Amino acid sequence: MSGEVKHEWPLFEVFVRAKRGLNHVHVGSLRAADHEMALHHARDLYTRRNEGVSIWVVKSDDVVASGPDDKDAFFAPSGDKAYRHPTYYAIPESVPHI
């Protein structure tokens, strides 16, 4: 090991699967020295009321994100494919829970 050790722990992003059948959803972030510690902390912080059946932690530095300005290229195409959107389909008011 060489050089100075950085004292600040890195940032991790936390994803929780609230119940079976649902996606993991981003719930926030936390700091930890390593992945193992991050999982422990995520359990304490984000699932201490029993919400969640599974947790992912990812180093924030490892997340590659599209920029907001890429929005058009990435996300616009579906804008002209209205059939992808549920509101495209007219459903009579009398049909419940749709």
Which residues of the chain form contacts with another protein (CB under 8 A)?
1, 5-9, 11, 28-34, 36-37, 40-41, 43-45, 48-51, 65, 67-68
The strand order across the sheet containing 24-31 reads 24-31, 11-17, 54-59
Q: Which is nearer to another protein, 51 or 78 (CB)?
A: 51
Least Cα distance to 28 among 10, 7, 45 occurs for 45
Which of 50, 87 has the CB closer to another protein? 50
Shortest separation between residue 83's beta carbon and another protein, angstroms: 24
Cβ–Cβ under 8 Å, residues 18 and 52: yes
Strands (E), 1-98: 11-17, 24-31, 54-59
Smallest distance from another protein to CB 77, Å: 20
8: CB partners within 8 A, 6+ apart: 31
Minimum CB separation of residue 95 from another protein in Å reads 26
User: To the nearest whole angstrom, how small is the minimum distance from the Cβ of residue 52 to another protein?
Assistant: 11
